[in-house]
Chains A and B, each alone.
Chain A
Amino acid sequence: MTVALEGRPARSRPSLVNHDLTTASGIGLGVSMLWFSLLVLIPLTAVMVTASSGGWGEFWRSITNEQTAAAIRLTVTAAAAVTLANIVTGTAIAWVLVRDRFPGKGLLELVIDIPFALPTIVAGLVLVSLYGNDSPLGLHLANTEWSIYLAFLFVTLPFVVRMVQPVLEELDLEVEEAAASLGASRATIFRRVVLPSLAPAIAAGAALSFARAVGEYGSLVLLSGNLPFESEVTSVRILSAIENDNRAAATSIAAVLLVISLLVIVALDVLQRRVARRG
């Protein structure tokens, strides 16, 4: 709360005064910042402070513990792979939703948002019912490494689609038609004309999808079996450290995840400015 509360509005020359808050909006900002600090900033700071209180050696020992390192490796690999898959499938889905026309398309729109609104524990149960031991498809992915990929694909489905879709809707078709009339093939048009305009939106969606996957917990509880060195993810390691009252290990691993989240937020901020959704 570095904002000085001044009753004098400075509307005419905002460049000379670095804010234009009235008393009411100043109080609004103060109260909001207090709530945001108590709820988000102070608790997350507490994680970083507690993680570093044991010194670098303690922190390094915690995250290089064999089982923890395996969990982090699995989580990051799976999240990266799923994000790459989402870049392709998410763009394809957005393309079909915007450019294609067929009966039942509205239903697909609904299906895309389900993973976002469905409770994660229900998402896990849902996936167990099709890919678990009673699988009607004969696919027994539960309790294997593949269950992690499956759960990540499910929970991150909407991110790339929902970032790309509005940009694709606004895209000017005339440029593509011009390229076509000059003899460019459909593939060339997509690669040279469409893709560059979609790139920031795809990247923003990918960043969100990676962050979501790295921290995922709920959808894996019933699905992955949490087998050490095979299907145990980082969040599960943190939870078992909490349950064993090993605060140093819990906060150290959490700090790693938090740094990843922060990097994603910085990337998102840069990208969203390009997509120009928030000024």
Chain B
Amino acid sequence: MAETRRVTAGPATYVLRAFVIAYLVLLVAWPVVLVGTNTFENGTTAITEVFSDPDMVHALRLSAVAAVVATAVNTVFGVTISMLLVRKQFPGKRVLSALIDLPLSVSPIVVGLALMLVYGGRNGWLGPTIEGWGLQVVFATPGIVLATAFVSLPLVIREVVPVLHELGTEQEQAAQSLGASGWQTFWRITLPSIKWAVIYGVVLTLARSLGEFGAVKVVSGNVLGETRTATLAVEEKYLNFDQEGAYAVAFLLASVSVLAILVVFVLRARGTRHRAFERQS
């Protein structure tokens, strides 16, 4: 990332370096690579089997739909809340700013339980009313979307808020003094400047949403071919001694996450270069 400042390398540097590399290889890199090798033990048959099973295709599609809807909602919500938190004053702002982070630290099982208590069709707080309108939330796709949106809620905000702070208001004020409306200022000035932070947040949200497991397990009902998502299918396959199938689906999910990290990594490197350039000029 930033240029390395210390060049003098004593023995402590090498010990520390070796420790960090060994730790990361044993904890993350090696296990992740094993999933790949386990998947392709018998060539590509495991993967092709997943795609030829209509229930698995349904599970993958359900995961993708829930992730895309949750990400879209969280992006609009995230950018709006970030703008309000950084640019506006209103009562309760500090409390809101703290509460926004709450979904990151709540157990996914608690998330599922909380959604059941409110949207459960039998005795939830709002569930029976909403079902009266003909919309089933829990044990159906809307519940899966809600659970997914809950757990990934703060990710866009956490990326956009620091960038908005750093950006300052000079350009926005200039635009407004030249007669631009609030909307025009947002679309033409603010949004292009926070573009990369938003994309970065969207990629993280998408990766996190696609992989949600605990909360979805509670609210989905886990019905094969109906409300079973890809992550639930991994558990189901593994527990039913279909290890190859479990590894294959896990490999697909892991590939998407690694791809997401790569995208973010490239974007972040680009952002750092951009900022370093601005500092120089």
Q: A25, A44, A239, A279: which contacts B109 (Cβ < 8 A)?
A: A239
Asked if residues B125 and A46 are in contact (CB atoms below 8 Å), the reply is: yes
Asked if residues A25 and B88 are in contact (CB atoms below 8 Å), the reply is: yes
Asked if residues B210 and A100 are in contact (CB atoms below 8 Å), the reply is: no
Is there a chain B Cβ closer than 8 Å to A250's Cβ? yes
Asked if residues A43 and B114 are in contact (CB atoms below 8 Å), the reply is: yes
Is there a chain A Cβ closer than 8 Å to B182's Cβ? yes
Asked if residues B218 and A239 are in contact (CB atoms below 8 Å), the reply is: yes
Chain B interface, number of residues (Cβ within 8 angstroms) = 104
Q: Which of A86-101 contact B (CB under 8 A)?
A: 89, 92-93, 95-101
Closest to B63 in A: A119
Is there a chain B Cβ closer than 8 Å to A19's Cβ? yes
Chain B residues contacting A18 (CB-CB under 8 Å) are 89-91
Asked if residues B27 and A153 are in contact (CB atoms below 8 Å), the reply is: yes
Closest to A44 in B: B114
Q: A55-63, A195-203, A209-217: which one contacts chain B?
A: A209-217
Instruction: Return 22 A-B CB contacts under 8 Å, by A number.
Output: A3-B92, A19-B88, A96-B17, A99-B4, A100-B16, A111-B24, A114-B32, A117-B211, A119-B212, A122-B35, A122-B231, A125-B250, A217-B214, A218-B214, A218-B231, A222-B239, A235-B109, A239-B218, A254-B110, A269-B94, A269-B97, A278-B165
Interface residues of B (CB under 8 A from A): 1-2, 4-7, 9-10, 12-13, 16-17, 19-21, 23-24, 26-32, 34-35, 38, 73, 77, 80-81, 83-86, 88-92, 94, 96-119, 125-126, 146, 149-150, 153, 161-162, 165, 182-183, 204, 207-208, 210-214, 217-218, 231-232, 234-235, 238-239, 246-247, 250, 253-254, 257-258, 260-262, 264-265
Closest to B269 in A: A106
Contact A129 to B34, CB < 8 A, known contacts A169-B1, A251-B113: yes
Q: A97, A117, A173: which contacts B207 (Cβ < 8 A)?
A: A117
Closest to A236 in B: B109
Asked if residues B17 and A215 are in contact (CB atoms below 8 Å), the reply is: no
Chain A interface, number of residues (Cβ within 8 angstroms) = 99
Asked if residues A100 and B4 are in contact (CB atoms below 8 Å), the reply is: yes
Contact A119 to B253, CB < 8 A, known contacts A125-B238, A278-B85: yes
Chain B residues contacting A169 (CB-CB under 8 Å) are 1-2
Is there a chain B Cβ closer than 8 Å to A130's Cβ? yes
Chain A residues contacting B101 (CB-CB under 8 Å) are 265, 268-269
Q: Shortest CB–CB separation between residue B152 and chain A, in angstroms? A: 11
Contact A242 to B21, CB < 8 A, known contacts A99-B5, A126-B35: no
Q: Shortest CB–CB separation between residue B188 and chain A, in angstroms? A: 16
Chain A residues contacting B257 (CB-CB under 8 Å) are 114, 117-119, 122
Contact A32 to B80, CB < 8 A, known contacts A47-B110, A122-B35: yes
Contact A258 to B106, CB < 8 A, known contacts A119-B253, A278-B162: yes
Q: Shortest CB–CB separation between residue A3 and chain B, in angstroms? A: 5
Contacts A43-B111, A125-B250 known; 5 new A-B pairs at CB < 8 A = A99-B4, A114-B261, A118-B253, A122-B250, A235-B109
Interface residues of A (CB under 8 A from B): 2-3, 14, 18-22, 24-25, 28-29, 31-33, 35-36, 39-44, 46-47, 50, 89, 92-93, 95-102, 106, 108-122, 125-127, 129-131, 136, 153-154, 157, 165, 169, 173, 186, 208, 211-212, 214-218, 221-222, 234-236, 238-239, 242, 247, 250-251, 254, 257-258, 261-262, 264-266, 268-269, 277-279
Asked if residues B105 and A250 are in contact (CB atoms below 8 Å), the reply is: no
**Minimum-distance CB pairs A-B, first 10:** A215-B107, A119-B211, A211-B105, A43-B114, A117-B257, A46-B117, A218-B213, A101-B4, A217-B214, A269-B98
Q: Shortest CB–CB separation between residue A220 and chain B, in angstroms? A: 10
Q: A36, A130, A208: which contacts B34 (Cβ < 8 A)?
A: A130
Asked if residues B213 and A119 are in contact (CB atoms below 8 Å), the reply is: yes
Q: A2, A36, A136: which contacts B77 (Cβ < 8 A)?
A: A36
